[in-house]
Amino acid sequence: MTEPVLFSPFRMRGLELPNRIVVSPMGQYSATPEGFATDWHLMHLGHLAVSGAGLVITEATAVEPAGRVSSACLGIWSDDHIAPLRAALAFCRRHGGASMGMQLAHAGRKGSVSVPWEKQVALDATNGGWQLKSASPIAYPGRPVPHALSVDELAEIRDAFAAAARRAAALDFDLLEIHNAHGYLLHSFLTPLANARTDAYGGALEGRMRFPLEVFDAVRAAWPADRPLGVRITSTDWADGGWTIEESVVFAQQLKARGCDYVCASSGGSTPEQKIPIGPGYQVPLAERIRTEAGIATIAVGLITEPGQAEDIVSGGKADLVALGRGMLYNPRWAWHAAEALGANVYFPHPYERCHPSLRGSDFLKPFRDAKPAS
């Protein structure tokens, strides 16, 4: 029987993923007020590392304090953030079978809010909030007007991304991703819905791409050459006058020319007025178009829930990898179940081997697969 493409290896630079399943970055809002990882992160990343997925990416990790979404978001803006994360990663490497990636982020004009279970209420200096930053003084609806960043301030944030990449390298992450989506800072430069600048960082597409590309160049220079660097983008704002899929193709071409290894094709997040055609795999055509027209590897994400659906995406050349977020939280053993459904082998940690369906019945001690635990 031919091995499903979903469970075939995929190589980027010096990294070979054991399969095409990615665990998306998912905000946990469980860090200390200083942005340090906690026991929650050890549990969260640890159980996903043993899930059978080929790659697990951390939640959006802020490159400066004002880059957080909330005061409970993870940070990597100082060397002090390294040690708490190292403990969680040590568990993942000792017991897991997944490669580990970090996503670097800056929330921009969508930051300084309470955690989701407290309704993400906008905060100000009187209740623990901070000044928002963006391309232009255009507020995300319901949030304060952000400070428009000067050219000197842009350089400081660019350098903060590069410094964060060096810390990620010190932690020995296998892969790095830049969050350039969902209306956060870097995407706020791309979309006309948030960028009304008249200097070199606004106006036509070339100007609006300038700062995100400068950040990419700085991170690529700071990140080891043999390790993959990808970018998550909003492929379209799904709104009149917003960022479009055609512009995303051009942006992806520019990223590829600068050494980008993949694009994760998400969408939306810039405006509440977005009209998203929600449905199974609704963003897959975006990933396929970017992959075809920009000639770059893509990750498809968004309501990918069934093993056959995921296999069709990668085997049909619609994307190179598939990412699951909330679906993995709801069913952390999705990859195991997908392997069973598709007739493939997948990683199991030794203590859980006995739960594999092939060990039910009289031959429950018989080895069932070739995958070996990480050393």
Question: So which residues are the catalytic ones?
Answer: 184
Backbone angles phi, psi at 55, to 5 degrees: -145, 135
Closest CA to 20 of 309, 363, 329: 309
- How far apart (Å, rounded) are the C-alpha atoms in residues 144 and 114? 14
What does the alpha-carbon distance between residue 50 and residue 331 come to, in Å, rounded to a whole number? 13
Cα 275–chain centre separation:
23
E strand or H helix that includes residue 31: none
Strand, helix or coil for residue 226: coil
Give the Cα-Cα-Cα angle 22, 294, 181 (nearest 5 degrees): 50
**Cβ–Cβ under 8 Å, residues 172 and 224:** no
Dist CA 157 CA 334 (whole Å)? 37
H/E/C letters for each residue in 257-317?
HCCCCEEEEECCCCCCCCCCCCCCCCCHHHHHHHHHHHCCEEEEECCCCCHHHHHHHHHCC
Contacts of 109 (CB under 8 A, 6+ apart): 132, 133, 134, 138, 139, 140, 143, 146, 183, 185, 188, 194
At 168, the amino acid letter reads: A
